[in-house]
Structure 1
Amino acid sequence: MLGNTIALLVYLFIISFFGFLGYRHTKTSTDYLLGGRQIHPMIMALSYGATFISTSAIVGFGGAAGTLGMGLLWLTFLNILLGIFIAFVVFGKRTRRMGYSLDAHTFPELLGNRFDSKFIQGFAGVVIFLFMPIYTAAVLKGGTDFIQTHFGISYEISLLFFAAVVALYVWMGGLKGVMYTDAFQGGIMFLGMIFLIIYTYSKLGGVTSAHDQLTHLFDNPDVQEQTAGLVKGGFAGWTSMPKTGSPTWWSLITTIIMGVGIGVLAQPPLVVRFMTVKSNRELNRAVVSGGIFILVTTGVAYIIGPLSNLFFFEETGSIATIAAGGNDKIIPMFIKNYVPGWFGVIFFLALVAAAMSTLSSQFHAMGTAVGRDVYEKAMNKKGNTILITKTGILVAILISVTLAYLANQLDTSMQIIATGTAMFFGLCAASFLPAYISALFIRTISKEAIIAGMVTGFVVGIFWIFFIHEKEASSLQLCMALFNKTSLVKETGLAKLAMVDPIVVALPSSVIATTIGALVKKCTLSQQHLDKCFKA
């Protein structure tokens, strides 16, 4: 315990130093919001990766993999293909160039300035501020679960301590402080995950032996009894994909893989990273390092989760989700019980780093949404933007902490962290992705078409979340309160729709609405404005 405390104090000292360094180098709004547009490519790549990969990925989705199997590795593939290669090469360069030309400091401001619309900027800012706390709460819960398990202290104390530390350096240092600490934390995450995969495979006799053991574990009569409920839902073993068309298959493919894999392209904190570098060359240099980082951090988590069943079953006679006490507890309990004590300290820091790096960016995004996008631009109010932004950060933290506290009161068998993350990613895709793609690549599309697509995607997504998709609707309870059922389509001829994730319906709806809007209303932006937007 003394070693843990010393390591934690050293870690906190280092991130405090980076937060102070960011504070010392933050003189203007551009410094606070965009790091002065002079961030080194390696810092940007590590910050992007560390922001992308949080405790949601390691604890939440790693725990989901411990229950659903290695099919989650398809999410790693999609993360690298879309979240790194397409995002950096196709989206990143145009985003950086357009953001600089339009003097955009946030993702909503990029869209608002591109289409000369305060409504677009304000609407995007409100969506971010009101709904990003769902994702933030999921990340907070992941980090808090690990702190609680590792130190044996209460969930409430762990949550308050964790949130307070992140809040301090985000509030002080702006985006520079966030990105400096992100890069440091990303390095810890990368090294920690490398050791974890090597250690786990070595304990199981190598890669082939480990996977053979995991495949045959599903044939054990005791395991079959414990997984009977999962099998009924379509589960077919930890090294196999679920039965096509089953509830588990729909959850894995549409909610987790599609929701997060596609939604990453429209994540406001990640888009902003493209506007922090000074040239396209920096983005090119960041692709390889970013791809390797995502491969290691997510790939390891989605392999360790399923393999943990071998360790738990051998010692306790129960599969991971039962032995650990819930999906979100699988990774924390595995680290506590089955890896060397000295590595537990390192991995504890890696998990804290993963959560802090993402939380800092989320809090920063929510604060800027209030200060820059809604207050200063959409409402056209004059005042100290940085002060309003910092106030927004504090409010966002309070909301997120409250949601994280309430999430801990829910059924432990639920994949709370993974579900909360996927829900926000999917909502971002439905609300922002068609608008973002149109802004970058379609020169003459009208702002009315963009508004139609954004509003339609958001409304359909929210309706599906609260009233159709049973996984979320049953937890949020609004459908039950109004209609006395967990889903409007339950016990009807459309009951299978209750398994379909919102992104499958909301994103196409947004695309259709955008297309119709473009056909009905022609672009009225001046040629001079368009030339500025698409300046070479």
Structure 2
Amino acid sequence: MAVSTPVLGVIVLIYLMVIFYLGWVGYKRTKETEDYMVAGRNVHPYILALSYGATFISTSAIVGFGGAAGSLGMGLLWLAVMTIVVGIFVAFVFYGSRTRRMGANLKAVTFPELLGRRFQSRFIQGFSGALIGIFMPLYAGIVLIGGARFVETTLSVNYDVAVFILTIIVAAYVITGGLIAVMYTDALQGAIMFVGMAILLILTYVKLGGITAAHAALTAMSDLVPEGLAAGGHLGWTAMPAFGSPIWWTLISTLVLGVGIGVLAQPQLAVRFMTVKDNRALNRAVLVGGPFILMMTGVAFTVGALSNVYFMNTRGVIAIVAANGNTDLIIPEYINSAMPDVFVILFMLALLAAAMSTLSSQFHTMGTAIGHDFYRQYLKKGELGQTINITRAGMACTIVASVILAYILPISIIAHATAIFFGLCASAFLPMYTGALFWKRMNRNGAIASMLTGTFASLFWLVFVHGKEATALGISRFMFGVDTILTGTWTVIDPILVATPLAFIVAIMVSILTGPDPQDHIEKCFKK
């Protein structure tokens, strides 16, 4: 049932007024390029933690992965474990501290610029910027889908109109206010998301008769798994899929590892580490970021799976059937059907916050990648000019691309497309990024070889081997007469498990076989 109440309009209006006020504050405090790009390198640790978490956890996690849990079950909670251990602890304590220090030493203001200056390569910076500008619109597009689907379901607003409105609102404060505006609004939106998810978990257990009753009922539904899912290895919503089955490989390699490892090399997250003044701030941020990520992912995946119990009790069908076969509609349909109207309003704000916080960071990252890294530093060879204006133009172009993708991408795409982008970033950037921070012998040749190997190996696997994408694209069938050039288990193994190890090996071998970078530059990079 759609929400219709004057209170809704008032709440949304107040929310948007606060968002625009924070955007205005960001605009007023943006005086120099460093302010626009890295928020002046003096962000409060709690602002950092909430901004990082809100950027990481978008509607793709709540709507997309929550819907995937409604279909695949609670095995997706392994991703929650990965995001806390890798995405928070390893990222902040190990990668974050070195990224902050090296970024300050090299005066880098973007993730591609950090890599480019570490290896003294405009090609690395330009190629990384182009890669982000080309492929991040896919990720931004699916975040738009997640937010727009909930607005569509809740307010009975046309989906295309919902996409357009979300885009205009976010673009307005990102383009004008830069990263300061992004992080301030992220922090507010993260707080709203936390409250919304906490209430959702409590109301879900109340609705289903308590924790024990809810999970017992879900376990007892194992015989209701649809034939198609059962044939793929689905053993029930509280059990892991059969080991080695197609669904097991999809769950583990694509969703859990693809996102859980790929988070380390996300440009929009890595740049956050360069916004604080010292490592103490990073360590303090962990204390906020960990519980935040646990609440966001743990609740989304748990509620997504438990929605099967609700739909079976009220409609006599499982969640995927109630959502007409579209996993992206499971969470919106559950919220609108099972929750009180007042909470639906609150949760709509939480999902708007989730979408807007991630979109703002994506728009900022895409704009800086195209305007600063690719155009100014690579094409124009770093000549002085209107960096911020060029970046704003880059944002506008990539925003348009994201909106177009949000209109044309197919159903049930959110979780899978997120994993594709995270996996591509892991393959292209993680070996080079890791070597840049932890291995002084890693040189420019090894970095370039690793980046190219990871990028093209990942794309090759997606186009010619990984069944879901290869079949949909049809390039392999056009060229070779078959959907995939390999068969069997290979077609369900995610590219991240092939391309990323290969890129690491290439990085090490090429760096060892070629001469080291200048010692004075290495000392400058690692200066404490």
Q: Same fold (TM over 0.5)?
A: yes
AA of the residue aligned to 1:72: L
- Tell me the amino acid that sits aligned with residue 308 of structure 2: N
Q: Deviations over 1:317-373 (max 9, x none)?
A: 111011112100000011111001000000000001001100100110010001111
- State the Cα deviation string for residues 12-40 of structure 1 (Å, max 9, x = none): 11111111110010011000000000111
* Distance in 2 between residues matched to 1:484 and 1:394, nearest whole Å: 40
SS state at 1:218 partner: helix
Q: Deviations over 1:260-301 (max 9, x none)?
A: 000000000100000000111100100011000000011000
Pairing 1:178-327 to 2, within 5 Å after superposition: 178-219=182-223, 223-224=224-225, 227-325=226-324, 326-327=326-327
Q: Which residue of 2 aligns with 1:387?
A: 389
Q: Which structure 2 residues correspond to residues 399-414 of structure 1 after superposition, within 5 A?
A: 399-407=401-409, 410=410, 412=411
- For residues 295 and 308 of structure 2, what CA distance do their matches in structure 1 show? 21
TM-score normalized by structure 1? 0.96
Question: SS of the counterpart of 1:487?
Answer: coil
Number of the residue aligned with 1:527: 519
**Alpha-carbon shift at residue 484 of structure 1 (Å):** 4.5
Structure 1 residue 486, shift from structure 2 partner: 2.9
Report what 1:350 is aligned to.
350
Q: 1:127 deviation in Å? A: 0.7
Give the Å deviation of 1:466. Answer: 1.4
One-letter amino acid matched to 2:503: S
2:53/2:293 contact within 8 Å kept: yes
Q: Report the alpha carbon displacement of residue 517 of structure 1 after superposing the two structures with TM.
A: 0.6
8 A contact 1:38–1:278 mirrored in 2: yes
Unaligned runs of 5+ in 1: none
Equivalent residue for 1:48?
52
Q: TM-score, normalised by structure 2?
A: 0.97
Deviations 1:397-440 (A, max 9, x none): 10011111101xx2x3xx30001100000000000001011000
Q: How does 1:317-466 map to 2 (within 5 A)?
A: 317-325=316-324, 326-379=326-379, 380=381, 381-407=383-409, 410=410, 412=411, 415-466=412-463
Counterpart CA distance in 1 for 2:256 and 2:330 is: 20
**C-alpha contact 2:442 2:507 (8 A) present in aligned 1:** no
Which of 447, 454, 464 aligns to 1:467? It is 464
Question: Is this contact kept in 2: 1:30–1:105, CA < 8 A?
Answer: yes
Paired residue for 2:103?
99
Given candidates 33, 38, 47, the residue that maps to 1:34 is 38
Amino acid at match of 1:183: A
* Residue correspondence of structure 1 range 132-171 to structure 2 within 5 A: 132-171=136-175
CA distance in 2, matches of 1:478, 1:49: 37
How far is 1:8 from its partner? 1.3
Q: Residues 83-130 of structure 1: CA distance to partner in whole angstroms, max 9, x if unpaired?
A: 000000011111100100000000000001111111111111111110
Distance 1:237 1:375 in 2: 51
SS at match of 2:200: helix
Residue in structure 1 matching 2:500, options 498, 507, 512: 507
Equivalenced residues, count = 521
Alpha-carbon distance between aligned partners in 1 of 2:179 and 2:433, rounded to the nearest angstrom: 22
Q: Percent identity?
A: 52
Rounded to whole Å, the distance in 2 between the matches of 1:481 and 1:57 is 34
Paired residue type of 1:255 = T
Question: CA shift at 1:481, angstroms?
Answer: 4.0
**Deviations 1:137-175 (Å, cap 9, x if unpaired)?**
111111111111111121111111111111111111100
Preserved CA contact (<8 Å) 2:450 2:503 = yes
Deviations 1:199-222 (A, max 9, x none): 111222221111101000223xxx
Q: Structure 1 residues 344-353 or 155-164, which shifts more?
A: 155-164
Report the AA paired with residue 406 of structure 2.
A
Range that drifts further, 368-377 or 421-430: 368-377
Cα distance between partner residues in 1 of 2:359 and 2:12: 18
Q: Distance in 1 between matches of 2:392 and 2:346?
A: 32
Letter of the structure 2 residue corresponding to residue 500 of structure 1: I
> Match of 2:385, as an amino acid?
G
8 Å Cα contact 2:208-2:310 kept in structure 1: no
Q: Which amino acid in structure 2 is aligned with residue 247 of structure 1? A: P
Query: CA RMSD of the aligned region, Å?
Result: 1.1
- 1:476 Cα offset (Å): 3.0
Distance 2:519 2:509 in 1: 23
Runs of 4+ in 1 over 4 A off after TM superposition: none
What are the equivalent positions in structure 2 for 1:71-90 lying under 5 Å apart?
A: 71-90=75-94
Distance 2:332 2:75 in 1: 21
Contact residue 466 and residue 490 of structure 2 kept, 8 A: yes
Amino acid at match of 2:405: L
Amino acid in structure 1 at the alignment position of 2:387: T
Q: Distance in 1 between matches of 2:450 and 2:460?
A: 15
Structure-2 separation of matches of 1:141 and 1:473: 23
Say whether 1:126 aligns with 2:130. yes
Is this contact kept in 2: 1:445–1:522, CA < 8 A?
Answer: no
Structure 1 letter corresponding to 2:336? K
Distance 1:14 1:251, change over 3 A: same
The CA deviation string for residues 221-274 of structure 1, in whole angstroms up to 9 with x for no partner, is xx24xx111000000000000001111000000000000000000000100000
Letter in structure 2 aligned against 1:110 = L
Segments of 5+ residues of structure 2 without an aligned counterpart are: none
> Do the aligned residues in 2 keep the contact of 1:309 with 1:320 (CA within 8 Å)?
yes
